[in-house]
Amino acid sequence: MNITAFMAFILTAAAAYLISGINPAIILSKAIYHTDIRTKGSGNPGFTNFKRVFGGKNAWLVFFSDILKGAVVSAAAGFVFRGTYGWQFGVAYAGIFAILGHAYPAFYGFRGGKGFLVCFSELWFIDWRAGAVAAITLVLLLLIVKIMSLSTMSALFAGGAAAAILGAGFAVCIMYFAGAVFVAVRHRENIKRLIKGTEPVFVFGKK
């Protein structure tokens, strides 16, 4: 590995971490509601908790902002690595650090979200068809079981399986699934509630 490639790895990792460390839920909760979303509800600074606490008016801004930052990181990393290790490799590599940045942001005392939307966004840039599989899985499960945590985790793994079937490289799949497993681990309290049957349902039009 030459110095140019080495610097590409280092700078991509740093940029992915820092950009994804910007948390819309925390920013909007402080700017609009004068409180930190991490002190409300489940304490998670993400779309679902934001919506349950404050309602849907600004929650969808959180949703699309998290997807946007994942898209920016993925597109930039794919562009950087497209001529060397490949577009998909760059996206999956940056995805690891983007998820870590979202979960452990240096800007907010290393207390961040679970990383689903960042990982979900990354999947679309690995292979849009895999992203579509994840989106369909997410929507169908939300309509059927109405439980966000189960729907999101299932969507990530269904999309990852689709990416592998559609020809994503071994290294790409390993990095992607590492991120997906990390997101699932971040949902461990949700998993405990799912087992107990106490996980709350998600309602689109209300808090």
pLDDT above 70 for 124: yes
What are the pLDDT digits (tens) for 38-71? Answer: 999 888 998 889 998 988 788 889 999 999 999 9
What's the residue count for the chain? 207
pLDDT at 2: 85
Check whether 125 has a pLDDT greater than 90: yes
pTM: 0.91
pLDDT at 57: 80
Distance CA(62)–CA(70), nearest Å, equals 12
User: Each residue of 151-168: pLDDT tens digit?
Assistant: 999 999 999 999 999 999
Instruction: Please name which of 190, 120, 118, 185 lies closest in space to residue 155, comparing C-alpha atoms.
Output: 120
* Number of C-beta neighbours around residue 207 at 10 A: 11
Cα(141)–Cα(36) distance, integer angstroms:
30
Q: In the predicted model, is pLDDT for residue 206 greater than 60? A: no
CA distance 25 to 51: 10
Q: Write down the residue that tokens 């950087």 correspond to.
A: 80
CB atoms within 10 A of CB 200: 14
